[in-house]
Structure 1
Amino acid sequence: MPNSQCSNLATAPWTFRFELVSEAASIGFAADIARVLQEGDVVALDGDLGAGKSTFARALLRARADDPGLEVPSPTFTLVQTYEFEDLEISHFDLYRIGDVEELYEIGFEESWQSGAALIEWPDRAEDLMPQNALWLKIETTKTPGMRRLTITADSNWEVRLLRICKKRNLLIRIGWGEALLAPIDGDLSPRHYDRVTRLTLDGDGLPTTEPSNTQTGRAQSGILMDMPERAPGPQLPDGRTYDGVAHRVTSLAPVITISQGLHQLGLRVPSIYGFDLEDGLMLWEDFGKERLTDESGAPIAKRYLAVVRAIAHLHDIRIPKRLDGAGGSFDLPHYDLDAFTVELDVFLDHYWPHRHSCPCPEVDRLDYHALWQPLLRYLTESERSLVLRDVQDPNCFWLGDALRAGSIGFIDYQDCLIGPSSYDLSALALDARVTIPDDLEAEMLSYYISLRKLDEERVKLLKAAYSVTAAQRTSKNLGAFARAANMAGRPAYLSHVPRSLKYLSKVLEHPLLSGLKDWYDSHDLLR
């Protein structure tokens, strides 16, 4: 490494190394860098002749342009080639033929990253003109044919921006997806982050090509990368416990892997796992595509919702295991207990009440609310128990087939599953928080579930009562979550779900078992 680089990074540099990287994988990593490049950035490409500096620069520029066929001529003789993108100007320098550092002043070297970003091959030729905050990428040949070693050295600001990206790329390389491209998926209210991972078509030399190929049929061409680093449980509650702990929410990847494998063994269609890194909290699994339960206008497709009902009914007829075992270790399934139900209802009081009334919920009203709910929640804990996936609704259910058959629905977002009322997932689906479900479709789903499970008259009566209670509890929690997303996370779009949720809540509160609770909501003007 040049002396100038060492002096520029004298203050505790961050280093990350990819030991063995194919040219295709280095192109994938170049696309990762392209995605985060911004004004003021300088990427120094260091390495011997033939190491792959120009290949990396070319891949980065093509990725930024989203054009794999973009012409990227070498600036060996012109010294610099400038590319105007919609949001950023990138200058590509090749300093191999620089005779005197004074020449750099004539070609606007330092100005390039003051109004844009710069890629610099042979950066050691620039001597002390290289900025201290540059990202240095050293590319070295290895004894393994076709493989390179990539070493990143940069300051802590680059570490913040690139560490997770590097770890993701490292996982992809390790499991044979090194050439794949990552595209962030817009998140919901989850603390997890996701990327869609798309494999590139490779030519006979193992390099990406724009030409279609039939030589790779039989292997998955896309996947979903879950980014879930372990986090401390939270937030803290007034009694010192945490919401995650009381509500039984997992905070690390290991249980997700075990739960996925356990659900698969129970016959549920969940994503196949392609690879994972428990220490870094990363997992690549199957991409179910984009076909969910609604049409292009957002209206529910009855056949698809009924297919989900079929899968739920099948799950509810299976003996519930107390423990799941898998590659993430053993996981004891928790119970949806009184405390878990109650802490979720507090989300309604803590966020929807102030959203509606512009003031905190008075303590006396909170106590009354809890008192009204306690016998109802005890009723739920004594009702029929089954495995509760917890978020069975349109964004988390994928249409994989064309008939009401096993495996036609793929499920995600079940990491917080537990043992609880059989009615819970059914009410979550039939009163989908993000899709307006017509009354006749809701009734059809209930009837189909009852027929599949061959419930007698008494069990139907118990189911409908528990259904109303779980629907009221879940919808109240959702109203609080939507208000919190709008008012605390700056995501007002979630308020569009409030009118639908209020309609659902008003409907289920008509059940005689909930009459006292309905009076409370009405008296506090919380159903408008």
Structure 2
Amino acid sequence: MTPPEDPREARRADFLAAAGWGGVEAVPLAGDASARRYFRLQRADGARAVLMEAEAGEEVSRFLRVGRFLRDAGLSAPEVVASDAPNGLLLLEDFGDALVARIAEAEPEREAGLYAVAAEALAALHRHAPPADWPRATPAMLSRAIAPLFEHYAPETPPETRAATEEALAQALEGLDAPTAVPILRDFHAENLIWLPERAGSARAGLLDYQDAMAGHVAYDLASLLRDARRDVSPAAAEAAITAFLRESGRNRATLTAAMALLGVQRNLRILGVFARLAAHGKPRYLALMPRVWRHLEADLAHPAAAPVARALGEALPAPDPARLDRLRRRCPTP
């Protein structure tokens, strides 16, 4: 008996045929922490595109809206070749394989320049007000967002420590100037940036994975870029990025770096929990990234701006030492 056709494959084939890409082989590309899937297509005439499959509905609609906003701002988000939001299908411009992370690893002498352009792209983005209907990364929302830390990474944390940490974080974030003034992309790092040397200025930074954009603080995405869970950013590259951002934005260095430290604490507390959850759901590779996340967290907790959060946490939060990682690994459904 012939097995029934996968409905996803049938929808994909119909979508590609209607877009003029029927019969083209779809080669899987590396995915990310989400359930989205990506495929590269290349026609006989040499034209290339990327197919994105996502959860049907709002996620795709948001990707389309945010991408349009970014392109209107003069930044490089992939053009949309065809879309079927109800079925979670997008055919996108192919930016190629020149990930900033790969280039920086292969040619470390170029890292500082690449990171400077990425920071320039952020400064250019911040010249545009976030749309009124974008979610707001308020201090209350950001403090609640560290919940995965206590649910998945350190569930043994006393309830009073959890409450005190969230309260201290919210109060510290309230002290930041204009906490929701600019667009933030939230997952802004070297593996979500494609180098496009044929373009000019900040448009040389090709942007990916921006559907979760919000209105937030100017330092948020810079903290995401420089406190990267996936790779070590050299001091020279970090300084090049900060210098470029300050030059393009006119911000104050001390104020910016204090905000980066505090937002770095928020991000990395959350990331520890998210990575533990991903591991428990069959993605144990994220456990190997935890020691780097911890180093970022320790460095930022030492900044005076994060002192209230450090006091609230005290000694309650365990490091991702071999015993902790082994415990988390044992929860993984796959080896």
1:344 Cα deviation (Å)?
1.8
Q: Are residues 258 and 294 of structure 1, via their aligned partners in 2, closer, same or farther at CA, if it must alter by over 3 Å?
A: closer
Contiguous gaps of at least 5 residues in structure 2 = 321-335
Which residue in 2 is equivalent to 1:460? 253
Which residue in 1 is equivalent to 2:325? none
Which residue in 1 is equivalent to 2:212? 416
Structure 1 segments, 4+ long, off by >6 Å, are none
How high is the TM-score relative to the length of structure 2? 0.87
Query: For 2:199 and 2:94, how far apart are their aligned partners in 1?
Result: 20
How high is the TM-score relative to the length of structure 1? 0.57
Q: Are residues 526 and 395 of structure 1, via their aligned partners in 2, closer, same or farther at CA, if it must alter by over 3 Å?
A: same
For residues 392-426 of structure 1, the C-alpha deviation after alignment (integer angstroms, 9 at most, x for no partner) is 10221101117872321100110011110010001
CA contact (8 A) 2:189 2:228 kept: yes
Answer yes or no: is 1:426 the counterpart of 2:270.
no
Answer yes or no: is 1:310 the counterpart of 2:94.
no
Q: Are residues 493 and 321 of structure 1, via their aligned partners in 2, closer, same or farther at CA, if it must alter by over 3 Å?
A: closer
What is the aligned counterpart of 1:401 among 197, 222, 241? 197
1:270 Cα deviation (Å)?
0.4
What is the aligned counterpart of 2:12 among 168, 174, 189? 168
Query: For 2:2 and 2:23, how far apart are their aligned partners in 1?
Result: 25
Query: For 1:492 and 1:419, how far apart are their aligned partners in 2?
Result: 32
1:93-242 matches, within 5 Å, as 133-135=1-3, 158-159=4-5, 162-199=6-43, 201=44, 216=45, 221-230=47-56
Q: Are residues 525 and 475 of structure 1, via their aligned partners in 2, closer, same or farther at CA, if it must alter by over 3 Å?
A: closer
Amino acid at match of 1:506: E
Amino acid at match of 2:160: V
Amino acid at match of 2:287: L
Q: Are residues 384 and 187 of structure 1, via their aligned partners in 2, closer, same or farther at CA, if it must alter by over 3 Å?
A: closer
Give identity over the alignment, percent: 27
Structure with the larger RCO, 1 or 2 (CA within 8 Å, 6+ apart)? 2
Which residue in 1 is equivalent to 2:298? 506
Which moved further from structure 2: 370-379 or 498-507? Answer: 370-379
Which residue in 1 is equivalent to 2:324? none
**More helix per residue: 1 or 2?**
2
Query: For 2:128 and 2:19, how far apart are their aligned partners in 1?
Result: 35
What is the aligned counterpart of 2:151 among 350, 366, 388? 350
1:304 Cα deviation (Å)?
1.4
CA contact (8 A) 1:383 1:466 kept: no
1:79-98 matches, within 5 Å, as none
Q: Are residues 392 and 483 of structure 1, via their aligned partners in 2, closer, same or farther at CA, if it must alter by over 3 Å?
A: same
Amino acid at match of 2:249: R
Which residue in 1 is equivalent to 2:61? 254
Query: For 1:523 and 1:369, how far apart are their aligned partners in 2?
Result: 12
1:325-344 matches, within 5 Å, as 332-344=133-145
For residues 173-208 of structure 1, the C-alpha deviation after alignment (integer angstroms, 9 at most, x for no partner) is 111111311122232211222222222x2xxxxxxx
CA contact (8 A) 2:139 2:179 kept: no
Query: For 1:321 and 1:421, how far apart are their aligned partners in 2?
Result: 11
Answer yes or no: is 1:483 the counterpart of 2:309.
no
Query: For 2:276 and 2:130, how far apart are their aligned partners in 1?
Result: 36
Which moved further from structure 2: 492-501 or 183-192? Answer: 183-192
Q: Are residues 349 and 381 of structure 1, via their aligned partners in 2, closer, same or farther at CA, if it must alter by over 3 Å?
A: farther
Look up the SS of the partner of 2:128 in the other structure.
coil
Contiguous gaps of at least 5 residues in structure 1 = 1-132, 136-157, 202-215, 232-250, 324-331, 355-359
1:236-315 matches, within 5 Å, as 251-295=58-102, 298=105, 301-315=111-125
Structure 1 vs Structure 2 CA RMSD: 2.2
Q: Are residues 259 and 163 of structure 1, via their aligned partners in 2, closer, same or farther at CA, if it must alter by over 3 Å?
A: same
Look up the SS of the partner of 2:124 in the other structure.
helix
Query: For 2:168 and 2:119, how far apart are their aligned partners in 1?
Result: 31
Query: For 1:507 and 1:275, how far apart are their aligned partners in 2?
Result: 45
For residues 311-342 of structure 1, the C-alpha deviation after alignment (integer angstroms, 9 at most, x for no partner) is 111111x230424xxxxxxxx21211234212
Look up the SS of the partner of 1:294 in the other structure.
helix
